[in-house]
């Protein structure tokens, strides 16, 4: 796809993943809240001060949504969050959905607005299968953190609308910045719209297509870093991702992990 600008995107993700790993190592591994960019030392709720872009907190049950980047799982200490980014895609999303269904796993899909508009039926299929939605911006610009607030707002809120329209009214519960390029502003904006900023602990590196075995090995090796695992269902041939999920989901179950959603 056009938005994949060669190696830059990978470098961005790798840098973000390293940042997350370092943050996780420096604090409580499974509950680390620090992300690849600055973050407040403690949960700040949505009390983001006078510059908060929109005072409209709306978590489940009306609770404010934290601006901190989430990594933890609502499935507890052995919970794993499977996250699937950049779709939906007419070839790969149905195959990913099938693997998840076969293993009884619910996941979180971080969707790109242009893909959502092109394939609204797949957004509905994801929701119908019980998975959660995450706003991954309109056009997946990994330089989001160097853009104006107006640009960030357009990218995040237009994608939120596209996803909600396509899903038939089911709203995205999370916001994941492309390449992890969060800003304090984008986190506040997302939280004020009920979308918890969402990071990851384990980059499966599936986007680089290193081979199914390598993807599986990466997840097995790094799952001790934290519960949120990054996969992709778009942006190219994702057959290795599908195969890797088919191996790694049963392995995780056999090793005592359960599956959940990122804390909201």
Please say which residue, 86 or 206, places its beta carbon nearer to Zn ion. Answer: 86
**Are the CB atoms for 132 and 171 separated by under 8 Å?**
no
DSSP annotation of 85 reads: E
232 has catalytic annotation: yes
- 203 by DSSP, 3-state: which? strand
What is the nearest approach in angstroms of Zn ion to the Cβ of residue 179? Answer: 7
Please say which residue, 57 or 131, places its beta carbon nearer to Zn ion. Answer: 131
Residue 86 contacts Zn ion per CB under 5 A:
yes
Residues shown for the chain: 264
Distance set, CA 9 to CA 108, 199, 225, 263 (Å)? 21, 16, 22, 27
Q: Which residue in 68, 85, 135, 206 is the catalytic one?
A: 85
**Are the CB atoms for 96 and 84 separated by under 8 Å?**
yes
Phi and psi at residue 164, to the nearest 5°:
-65, -40
Helices of type H across 77-169? 92-103, 113-118, 120-128, 149-167
Region near Zn ion per CB under 5 A, out of 82-90, 165-173, 198-206, 220-228: 82-90
Please say which residue, 86 or 160, places its beta carbon nearer to Zn ion. Answer: 86
Residue 145 contacts Zn ion per CB under 5 A:
no
85 has catalytic annotation: yes
Region near Zn ion per CB under 5 A, out of 36-44, 72-80, 83-91, 190-198: 83-91
Please say which residue, 86 or 89, places its beta carbon nearer to Zn ion. Answer: 86
Please say which residue, 44 or 238, places its beta carbon nearer to Zn ion. Answer: 238
Pick from 20, 48, 68, 85 the residue near Zn ion by CB under 5 A: 85
Phi and psi at residue 246, to the nearest 5°:
-65, -25
Distance set, CA 34 to CA 30, 116, 196 (Å)? 11, 29, 14
Residues that contact Zn ion, how many (by CB under 5 A):
2
What is the nearest approach in angstroms of Zn ion to the Cβ of residue 140? Answer: 6
What is the nearest approach in angstroms of Zn ion to the Cβ of residue 92? Answer: 14
Positions marked active-site: 85, 232
| Residues near Zn ion, by CB under 5 A | 85-86
């Amino acid at each position: 796809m056009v938005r994949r600008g060669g190696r830059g995107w990978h470098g961005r993700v790798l840098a973000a993943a390293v940042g997350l790993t370092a943050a996780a190592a420096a604090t409580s591994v499974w509950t680390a809240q620090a992300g690849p960019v600055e973050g407040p030392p403690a949960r700040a709720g949505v009390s983001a001060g006078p510059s908060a872009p929109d005072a409209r907190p709306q978590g489940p049950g009306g609770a404010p949504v934290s601006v901190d980047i989430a990594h933890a799982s609502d499935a507890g200490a052995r919970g794993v969050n499977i996250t699937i980014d950049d779709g939906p895609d007419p070839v790969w999303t149905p195959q990913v959905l099938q693997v998840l269904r076969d293993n009884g796993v619910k996941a979180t899909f971080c969707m790109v607005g242009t893909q959502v508009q092109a394939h609204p039926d797949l957004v509905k299929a994801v929701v119908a299968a019980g998975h959660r939605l995450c706003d991954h911006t309109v056009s997946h610009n990994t330089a989001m953190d160097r853009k104006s607030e107006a640009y960030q707002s357009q990218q995040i809120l237009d994608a939120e609308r596209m996803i909600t329209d396509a899903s038939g009214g089911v709203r995205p519960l999370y916001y994941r910045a492309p390449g992890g390029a969060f800003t304090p502003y984008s986190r506040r904006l997302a939280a004020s719209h009920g979308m918890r900023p969402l990071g990851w602990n384990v980059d499966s590196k599936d986007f680089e297509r290193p081979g199914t075995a390598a993807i599986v090995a990466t997840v097995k090796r790094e799952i001790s870093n934290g519960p949120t695992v990054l996969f992709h269902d778009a942006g190219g041939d994702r057959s290795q991702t599908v195969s890797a999920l088919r191996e790694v989901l049963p392995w995780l179950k056999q090793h005592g992990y359960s599956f959940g959603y990122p804390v909201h």
